[in-house]
């Protein structure tokens, strides 16, 4: 049973527009969420995170929104750039679980120029 | 600062063999985690080591084991390899109590 779901396997966006990647979770015990991006032949790279006590966190072009009642989070990239083309993973964690992250299966973002 | 280093980059083994993968964390990082990535299951947590002690373990059979040395370097071992063990094995390091993981490029294991 998937506890973290990324229901869109792929997303195509034009350069300069907004990219919105979505993630749903089922475990209400999750209290920390992260987004990673992965380029081919490389390991995932940390992008941005959010604690369950917040509903928004921004870092430059990247903003993560958390809706606890809906058990939903989203990553907004504005403006999207061709270099953003990668696989994006949503991950969740319970505080006591150390570095044991539960990952979604990823969304492949393609940004065209 | 050097990143997380995993060796070897690629590995081919046959069923029944065993394999050892190595991971050198970022200098100063004492937590090392291992993940398995497959097309069907995605990224799955194997185990975490901190100060030479296993701190957390994922839902994998006992054939999967690991250890951490005093210099924080880590190894994972898979015994009696099965075809389904073919995967990308990723090592990640982090500062104590941080969930911000820094991943290596992984070891691609193929079991024939």
Question: What pLDDT score does B4 carry?
Answer: 97
> Going by C-beta distance under 8 Å and a sequence separation of 6 or more, which residues neighbour residue B84?
B111
Give the nearest chain B residue to A105 (CA atoms): B42
Question: What pLDDT score does A57 carry?
Answer: 98
Question: What pLDDT score does B1 carry?
Answer: 66
| First-last CA distance in chain B | 37
- Which residues of A fall within a CB distance of 8 Å from B45? 100-102
How does the average pLDDT of chain A come out, rounded? 95
User: Which residue numbers in chain B have pLDDT < 70?
Assistant: 1
Test A99 with B43 for CB contact under 8 angstroms.
Answer: no
- Which residues of B fall within a CB distance of 8 Å from A101? 43, 45, 99, 101
> For residue A79, what are its two tokens?
């403006």
- Which residues of A fall within a CB distance of 8 Å from B92? 43, 99
Among candidate residues B75, B84, B91, B92, the one with its CA nearest the CA of residue B109: B84
Give the nearest chain A residue to B96 (CA atoms): A98
């Amino acid at each position: 049973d998937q506890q973290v779901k990324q229901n869109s396997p792929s997303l195509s966006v034009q350069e300069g527009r907004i990219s919105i990647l979505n993630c749903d979770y089922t475990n209400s015990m999750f209290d920390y969420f992260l987004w990673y991006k992965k380029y081919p032949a490389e390991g995932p790279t940390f992008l941005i995170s959010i604690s369950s006590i917040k509903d928004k966190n921004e870092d430059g072009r990247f903003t993560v929104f958390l809706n606890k009642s809906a058990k939903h989070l989203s990553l907004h990239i504005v403006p999207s750039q061709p270099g953003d083309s990668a696989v994006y993973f949503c991950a969740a964690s319970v505080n006591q679980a150390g570095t044991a992250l539960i990952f979604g299966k990823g969304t492949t973002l393609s940004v065209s120029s | 600062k050097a990143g997380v280093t995993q060796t070897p980059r690629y590995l081919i083994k046959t069923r029944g063999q065993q394999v050892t993968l190595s991971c050198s964390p970022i200098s100063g990082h004492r937590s090392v985690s291992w993940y398995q990535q497959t097309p069907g299951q995605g990224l799955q947590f194997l185990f975490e080591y901190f100060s030479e002690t296993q701190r957390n373990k994922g839902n994998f059979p006992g054939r999967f084991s690991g250890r951490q040395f005093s210099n924080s370097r880590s190894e994972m071992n898979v015994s009696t390899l099965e075809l389904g063990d073919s995967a990308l094995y990723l090592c990640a390091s982090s500062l104590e109590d941080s969930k911000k993981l820094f991943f290596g490029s992984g070891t691609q294991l193929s079991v024939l």
